[in-house]
Structure 1
Amino acid sequence: MDYGSMVGDSFEYAKEAVVGKWNKWVMLIIATILLGLPLMGYVMKVLRGEKPAPEVDDWGTLFIDGIKALIVGIIYMIPVIIVEVLVLGAGFAGAMSGDSTAAMAAIGAMMVGLVVVLILALIIAVFEIIGLVRFARTGSIGEAFNFSAILATISKIGWVPYIIALVVLIVCYVIIAIVVAILMMIPILGFLLYLCLIAPIALFVSRYICQLYDSAGA
């Protein structure tokens, strides 16, 4: 798997979608402002493999697909939310017990628990990513949780190449996040730049995931 090529293709995809196409960029910014739901719906188009980046139209469908994608994400996060609530609840209960030793132990346990929550979230994300593509391409929320098909797709890609690809994506995202954080330090203008960059970043990530999914030949 050529990770560099995937990153380059994703960058070019996002760049060509907005640079010099100011009307589309404005529409994507509006899609972002509207709670991000139309943008999520637009991302579903990208995950379907539409190339070049499609026009921003049919807002009703974008909203509906965005809501469905949000539902998929929430369902996937339910285990994480439950574990996090239990960890934080137990931690705060121990911290407020009045016993300093118990409080310190509770805080330590809570820190460990939060690490467990993070690991759980990462494990779930491994399956959720493929699940979202399956939803985008079939239109069925149920297919987002077709774990036998999800596992089959990952197996075709190869677990090691798949994990490496996700690590590459995370590294790219961290670099982008650092750049955005620096821009955000600029009063007012920083926030406006951030608002303008949300959609291109989403296109970059979704195009990368699309290529990763297609590498399975699915």
Structure 2
Amino acid sequence: MDLSDMFSESLKLPFSDYKNWLIFGIITLLSTIFGAYTSGNGIVVLVVAILGLIVELITYGVGLDTMRGAINGSTSIPTIDVTKNIVDGIKSCVVIIIYCIIPAIITLIVAYASGFLGSMMEILANYSATSASVPQTLVTSFELGMGVTVIVGIIVFVIFMLFEIIGLGLLAETGSISAAFNFSEIISKIGSIGWGKYIAFIIIAGVIAVVIGMIGGIIGLIPAIGSYIVALIINSYIILAFNYAIGLLYREA
């Protein structure tokens, strides 16, 4: 399947089942409402936070189930299964968090090794509260260290993002968190898809996401109800369409 067909099928998916799209849209709407509730009685805030977490896990779970459906050849939106969705949501969140933590740790190590952290701490400790000028050697060390850290950080985060997408596909297919970190299998699957096609998929998905995000931004300007319309329609649409697209891409492997 070429990329144009892949995205065409994915973008049409929500329109194939308005009922299940609306049900899922209500879930994404609730996630937004619960997430915005931050003031009031402490107990009420705690209860709302717990409910918000549960709804958010269901959202992630439905996304993974949509991806699984695409991998298995389904052409419909999955029905809500709260227990299954929560379990899938927990697994998805664990995988996503670990894929964020690893490059963050690597970037911190580079920041320390390059002298960026040391020079920054020295500047903050000895010069931020005084009018004394910072020695040029310290400025140079700070700038070089920051440059190295930023470049390495971007490269590492991009690499892990590439792995994470296929890792989530492996999670959807196998249900195993450990499978999502089988890097040799991930590299093999990307090779089967084709690195060029894979990178092109990510670029096209990014462009589409920006366009949909701009539409959502315009809708969000509607007084009082704009943000709720975005949560109900746009957020649910993005989750369903893009997870389905990832599933179709993964099936190419």
Q: Is the 8 A contact 1:94 1:103 kept in 2?
A: no
Cα separation, partners in 2 of 1:20 and 1:82, compared to 1, 3 Å: closer
The one-letter code matched in structure 1 to 2:158 is L
Residue in structure 2 matched with residue 189 of structure 1 by the alignment = 225
Q: For the residues of structure 2 that align with 1:13 and 1:137, how far apart are their CA atoms?
A: 20
Cα separation, partners in 2 of 1:140 and 1:108, compared to 1, 3 Å: same
Q: For the residues of structure 2 that align with 1:41 and 1:90, how far apart are their CA atoms?
A: 42
Note the C-alpha offset of 1:94: 5.0
Residue in structure 2 matched with residue 213 of structure 1 by the alignment = 250
**Residue deviations 1:104-145 (CA, integer Å, cap 9, x gap):** 762574355234322211111111111111111111111101
Note the C-alpha offset of 1:181: 3.0
Cα separation, partners in 2 of 1:74 and 1:27, compared to 1, 3 Å: closer
Cα separation, partners in 2 of 1:182 and 1:25, compared to 1, 3 Å: closer
C-alpha RMSD of matched pairs (Å): 2.6
Residue in structure 1 matched with residue 25 of structure 2 by the alignment = 25
The one-letter code matched in structure 2 to 1:209 is I
1:147 aligns with 2:171: no
Residue in structure 2 matched with residue 136 of structure 1 by the alignment = 172
Residue in structure 2 matched with residue 69 of structure 1 by the alignment = 92
Q: Is the 8 A contact 1:18 1:25 kept in 2?
A: no
Q: For the residues of structure 2 that align with 1:25 and 1:67, how far apart are their CA atoms?
A: 20
Residue in structure 2 matched with residue 40 of structure 1 by the alignment = 60
Q: For the residues of structure 2 that align with 1:20 and 1:198, how far apart are their CA atoms?
A: 14
Residue in structure 1 matched with residue 4 of structure 2 by the alignment = 4
SS class of match (2:201) = helix
SS class of match (1:52) = coil
Residue in structure 2 matched with residue 156 of structure 1 by the alignment = 192
Percent identity among equivalent residues?
Answer: 29
The one-letter code matched in structure 2 to 1:43 is G
The one-letter code matched in structure 1 to 2:66 is V
Cα separation, partners in 2 of 1:77 and 1:192, compared to 1, 3 Å: same
Cα separation, partners in 2 of 1:85 and 1:176, compared to 1, 3 Å: farther
Residue in structure 1 matched with residue 121 of structure 2 by the alignment = 93
Mapping of 1:42-61 within 5 angstroms? 42-49=62-69, 50-56=74-80, 58-61=81-84
SS class of match (2:176) = coil
Q: For the residues of structure 2 that align with 1:20 and 1:41, how far apart are their CA atoms?
A: 15
**TM-score between the two structures when normalised by the length of structure 1:** 0.84
Note the C-alpha offset of 1:30: 3.5
Where does structure 1 lack aligned partners over 5 or more consecutive residues?
Answer: none
Residue in structure 1 matched with residue 14 of structure 2 by the alignment = 14
Q: Is the 8 A contact 2:28 2:236 kept in 1?
A: yes
Note the C-alpha offset of 1:198: 1.4
**Residue deviations 1:159-217 (CA, integer Å, cap 9, x gap):** 1111111111111112222322333344433321232221211111101101111112x
Q: Is the 8 A contact 1:90 1:110 kept in 2?
A: no
Note the C-alpha offset of 1:21: 5.4
Where does structure 2 lack aligned partners over 5 or more consecutive residues?
Answer: 35-51, 128-133
Which is further off, 162-171 or 179-188? 179-188
Q: For the residues of structure 1 that align with 2:225 and 2:119, how far apart are their CA atoms?
A: 40
Q: For the residues of structure 1 that align with 2:154 and 2:223, how far apart are their CA atoms?
A: 32
Q: Is the 8 A contact 2:57 2:86 kept in 1?
A: yes
Note the C-alpha offset of 1:10: 0.8
Cα separation, partners in 2 of 1:141 and 1:163, compared to 1, 3 Å: same
Cα separation, partners in 2 of 1:114 and 1:186, compared to 1, 3 Å: farther
**TM-score between the two structures when normalised by the length of structure 2:** 0.74
SS class of match (2:75) = coil
The one-letter code matched in structure 1 to 2:65 is K
Note the C-alpha offset of 1:149: 1.5
